[in-house]
């Protein structure tokens, strides 16, 4: 969708941002209505196809605009090296010289959009103070416009019809507050704004310019940003060997077979993005070598074509039949981008979401359904744009049946492409009416000759699939298949790990007279298969309990088994009547004798319910905290002791204290306090301050309060266990 030079306020604001910042291209992303996605709504300086891989960007994605919006900060990549280091997925899809800035549009409250700006290659390593100020002012201006649009509930901000719109507010001052951007989802793709010409030209001047170009040696032609020829001189047509009437409106690499090598289109893309002159030499068969010099700006490219002054050998034309188009450079980079994204998909749902959110819109589809092949049957693992009835019809269909295009694709291993309802009705009667789809690409997902599933992209209107699209989709299906196979294995391992974790942790805590108890377990967010933390509350007899917490080294099945052994040993020795120090000593000897090459920290607390006297012994575990009745909190420095499972002869020392009524004893693992680069003692002191400042609530709400900041941590490296024992108000404590 293209437009003029910013007839609407948002468009004018974007073009103003380009002028004020000196950027060569820009784009505005706004949040989607009901999903954590940024959508490209308006852009200028680049063809829409260049940003196709990023038309919809998940907020959690490692993409500059997503990071800027998510973290509310300006993201800068001064060159290819920095882009490759910080955003490798983006760098592999855009391997050119340019500088990039992504800045948040909107404040800390509500939805957050992002402004993307590109500068030509050769920009200074950092933004200047003036450029940064201009970027920030542009973001505030856009945020105000989007907020005003949301309040007025007017038409889409991409629309040219501005009669019913409020007046374009002036850009706010540098010190004004940043209003929050609201969503304005683009229904038909982003609006592409054309940068105004440098100056108006009269018909006489245009004719004189054409005469001037005709007199130049060689030949000249003009391309728009999309790469289509908009003007061509007689000399250029003669050198290219084609009539000017056939050249106009086409892309050179599409109409001239000897320019179909993706390398030539790649040079055009490099010129548009880097805004630097680019040249290359190509051979027009049989032996006419031509030099192409491309001079880009924000409206297109001027191309000078001349016979090459170098003596190259004659070469064969690009070995492609006239009716077959090789994969274009943009599609190659698109596949590279999507394949990089697929390598980041961890579970099956990640693969489904990536296909739905990035691959479906990239190929203009309105529907997607993915199946896995399990026990000889189709199982639906994800879908978009299909009714529940259509999904249920093929759920569990045997792979030996012949009632589904997915079954046929898996049986033959060959993709199929249906361009009309009639084609589909001929092979599968009733399917178009059931699904409401007129065209579809049916892609079998095959790994090492073994079918793992099928992916169907569907369209509500008839659609043809060009040869290059079929090639790209077929290649992409292989990448999806590998990602899906890995994801299924990962999910299986994760489910096994979670089941094992659930079996090893207590399903509930016993009721304890005189105490209210709460416990929490929080798994790591990434990179861990299973947690090694454990806790337990043991009712020893009518008058005493034992509380245990520990953290096993490692996060795998061996660590989980070791955790189960440690928890069982502690419980056995505790119920046998051993003292806290002796419980740890005996457990340590047992674990060392098992020789698992693992170890664990542990904190054991024996509490006499009559006297509220607590006896604590530790084995390399973080110190417990005690919040006193007056709500001041202290760190209990007990003898640390050696980790369990290292030295069989290790001895442990116990410490005794009384738990006053309305006091709270906090036991935790290091995942609650550990922060890379922070002194552990400072982290423990910070937890003590949070406990100290927490409101006087019960242990359940208090536990949630202490974990609140860790729950929001999307990059939590370690799991967390927490147990709170709150002494209830009671009668006088029996003296010891």
Q: pLDDT: is 343 or 123 the higher one?
A: 123
Q: pLDDT: is 57 or 330 the higher one?
A: 57
Give residues with Cβ within 8 angstroms of 446, minimum separation 6. 413, 452, 477, 478, 481
Structure tokens at 347: 């579970």
Top CATH class, 505-727: alpha beta
325 three-class SS: coil
Q: pLDDT: is 158 or 550 the higher one?
A: 550
| Per-residue pLDDT at 174 exceeds 70 | no
For the whole prediction, is pTM greater than 0.75? no
Residue corresponding to tokens 């245009």: 206
**Dist. CA 217–CA 222, nearest whole Å:** 16
pLDDT confidence band for 491 (50 / 70 / 90): confident
Q: pLDDT: is 358 or 704 the higher one?
A: 704
| Per-residue pLDDT at 128 exceeds 90 | yes
**Exposed, middle or buried by CB within 10 Å (0-12, 13-18, 19+), for 170?**
exposed
| Per-residue pLDDT at 452 exceeds 50 | yes
**Exposed, middle or buried by CB within 10 Å (0-12, 13-18, 19+), for 3?**
middle
The pLDDT assigned to 6 comes to 44
Sorted by where each begins, the domain ranges of the chain are 2-193, 214-307, 345-497, 505-727
Bond from prior residue into 286 cis (ω within 30 degrees of 0): yes
Helices (H) and strands (E) in the chain, counts: 22, 28
18 three-class SS: helix
The pLDDT assigned to 7 comes to 54
Range 283-286 contact pairs with CB under 8 angstroms and sequence separation of 24 or more = 283/258, 283/312, 283/314, 283/315, 284/239, 284/240, 284/241, 284/256, 284/258, 285/258, 285/315, 285/316, 285/317, 286/314
Q: Return the exposure string of 514-553: e unless at least 16 CB atoms fall within 10 Å of the residue's CB, then b.
A: bbbbbbbbbbbeeebbbbbbbbbbbebeeebbbbbbbbbb
The pLDDT assigned to 131 comes to 95
The pLDDT assigned to 311 comes to 53
| Per-residue pLDDT at 241 exceeds 80 | yes
CATH topology classification for 2-193: Beta-Lactamase (3.30.450)
- Distance, CA of 215 to chain centre: 54
Average per-residue pLDDT in the chain?
A: 82
Do 214-307 and 505-727 agree at the fold level?
Answer: no
Q: Output DSSP code: residue 622.
A: P
Contact 431, 424 (CB under 8 A): yes
| Per-residue pLDDT at 80 exceeds 90 | no
pLDDT tens across 596-612, in order? 778 999 999 999 999 99
Closest by Cα among 383, 388, 389, 384 to 370 = 383
pLDDT confidence band for 449 (50 / 70 / 90): confident
The pLDDT assigned to 730 comes to 62
**Taking the chain, what is the end-to-end CA distance rounded to the nearest angstrom?**
83
Q: pLDDT: is 181 or 386 the higher one?
A: 386
Residue corresponding to tokens 């993307």: 116
Does the domain made of 214-307 have the CATH classification 3.30.450.20?
A: yes
Q: pLDDT: is 408 or 718 the higher one?
A: 408
CA angle 226, 228, 234 (to 5 degrees): 150
- Average pLDDT for 510-524: 87
**Dist. CA 34–CA 36, nearest whole Å:** 7
Lowest pLDDT segment from 42-51, 158-167, 526-535, 561-570: 158-167
pLDDT tens across 395-441, in order? 888 877 767 888 888 888 889 999 999 999 999 999 989 999 999 99
**Dist. CA 314–CA 302, nearest whole Å:** 28
pLDDT confidence band for 304 (50 / 70 / 90): very high
* CA dihedral sign of residues 723, 725, 726, 728: positive
Contact 159, 6 (CB under 8 A): no
pLDDT tens across 342-371, in order? 766 778 888 888 888 777 876 778 899 999
The pLDDT assigned to 160 comes to 37
CATH topology classification for 345-497: Beta-Lactamase (3.30.450)
């Amino acid at each position: 969708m293209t437009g003029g030079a910013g007839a609407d306020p948002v468009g004018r604001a974007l073009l103003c941002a380009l002028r004020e910042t000196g950027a060569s291209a820009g784009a505005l992303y706004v949040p989607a209505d009901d999903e954590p996605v940024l959508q490209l709504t308006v852009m200028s300086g680049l063809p829409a196809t260049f940003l196709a891989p990023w038309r919809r960007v998940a907020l959690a994605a490692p993409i500059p605009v997503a990071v800027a919006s998510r973290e509310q900060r300006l993201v800068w990549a001064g060159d290819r090296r920095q882009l490759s280091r910080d955003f490798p997925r983006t760098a592999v899809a855009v391997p050119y010289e340019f500088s990039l800035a992504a800045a948040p549009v909107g404040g800390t409250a509500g939805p957050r959009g992002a402004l993307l700006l590109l500068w030509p290659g050769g920009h200074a390593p950092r933004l200047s103070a003036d450029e940064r100020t201009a970027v920030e002012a542009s973001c505030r201006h856009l945020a105000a416009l989007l907020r005003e649009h949301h309040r007025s509930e007017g038409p889409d901000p991409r629309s040219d019809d501005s009669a019913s719109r409020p007046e374009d507010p002036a850009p706010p001052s540098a010190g004004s507050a940043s209003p929050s951007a609201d969503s304005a989802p683009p229904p038909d793709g982003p609006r592409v704004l054309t940068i105004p010409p440098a100056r108006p030209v009269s018909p006489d001047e245009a004719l004189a310019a054409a005469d001037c170009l005709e007199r130049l040696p060689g030949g000249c032609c003009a391309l728009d940003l999309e790469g289509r020829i908009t003007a061509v001189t007689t000399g250029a047509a003669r050198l290219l060997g084609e009539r000017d009437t056939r050249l106009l409106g086409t892309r050179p690499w599409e109409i001239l077979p000897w320019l179909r090598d993706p390398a030539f289109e790649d040079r055009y893309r490099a010129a548009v993005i880097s805004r630097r002159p680019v040249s290359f030499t190509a051979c027009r068969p049989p032996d006419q070598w031509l030099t192409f010099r491309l001079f880009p700006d924000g409206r297109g490219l001027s191309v000078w074509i001349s016979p090459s002054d170098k003596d190259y050998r004659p070469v064969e034309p690009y070995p492609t039949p006239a009716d077959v188009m090789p994969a274009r450079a943009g599609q190659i980079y698109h596949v590279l981008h999507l394949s990089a994204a697929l390598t980041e998909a961890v579970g099956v749902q990640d693969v489904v979401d990536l296909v739905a959110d990035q691959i479906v819109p990239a190929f203009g589809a309105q529907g997607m359904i993915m199946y896995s092949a399990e026990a000889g049957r189709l199982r639906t693992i994800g879908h978009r744009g299909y009714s529940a009835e259509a999904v249920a019809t093929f759920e569990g269909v045997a792979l030996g049946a012949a009632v589904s295009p997915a079954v046929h694709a898996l049986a033959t291993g060959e993709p199929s492409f249906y361009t009309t309802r009639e084609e589909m009705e001929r092979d599968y009667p009733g399917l178009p009416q059931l699904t409401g789809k007129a065209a579809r690409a049916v892609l079998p997902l095959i790994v090492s000759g073994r079918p793992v599933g099928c992916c169907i992209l569907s369209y509500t209107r008839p659609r043809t699939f060009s040869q290059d699209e079929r090639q790209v989709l077929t290649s992409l299906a292989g990448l999806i298949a590998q990602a899906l196979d890995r994801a299924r294995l990962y999910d299986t391992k994760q489910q096994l790990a979670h089941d094992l974790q659930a079996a090893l942790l207590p399903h509930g805590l016993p009721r304890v007279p005189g105490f209210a108890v709460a416990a929490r377990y929080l798994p790591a967010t990434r990179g861990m298969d299973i947690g090694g933390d454990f806790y337990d509350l043991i009712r020893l007899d009518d008058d005493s309990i034992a509380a245990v917490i520990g953290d096993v080294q490692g996060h795998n099945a061996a660590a989980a088994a070791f955790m189960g052994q440690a928890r069982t040993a502690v419980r056995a020795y505790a119920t046998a009547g051993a003292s806290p120090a002796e419980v740890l000593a005996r457990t340590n000897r047992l674990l060392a004798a098992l020789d698992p090459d693992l170890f664990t920290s542990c904190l054991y607390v024996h509490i006499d319910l009559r006297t509220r006297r607590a006896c604590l012994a530790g084995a390399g575990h973080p110190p417990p905290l005690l919040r006193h009745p007056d709500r001041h909190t202290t760190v209990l420095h007990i003898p640390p002791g050696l980790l369990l499972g290292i030295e069989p002869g290790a001895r442990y020392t116990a410490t005794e204290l009384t738990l006053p009524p309305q006091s709270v004893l906090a036991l935790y693992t290091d995942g609650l306090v550990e922060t890379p680069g922070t002194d552990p003692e400072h982290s423990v002191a910070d937890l003590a301050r949070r406990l100290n400042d927490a409101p006087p609530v019960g242990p359940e709400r208090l536990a949630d309060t202490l974990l609140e900041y860790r729950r929001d941590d999307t990059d939590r490296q370690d799991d967390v266990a927490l147990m709170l024992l709150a002494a209830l108000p009671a009668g006088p404590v029996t003296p010891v």
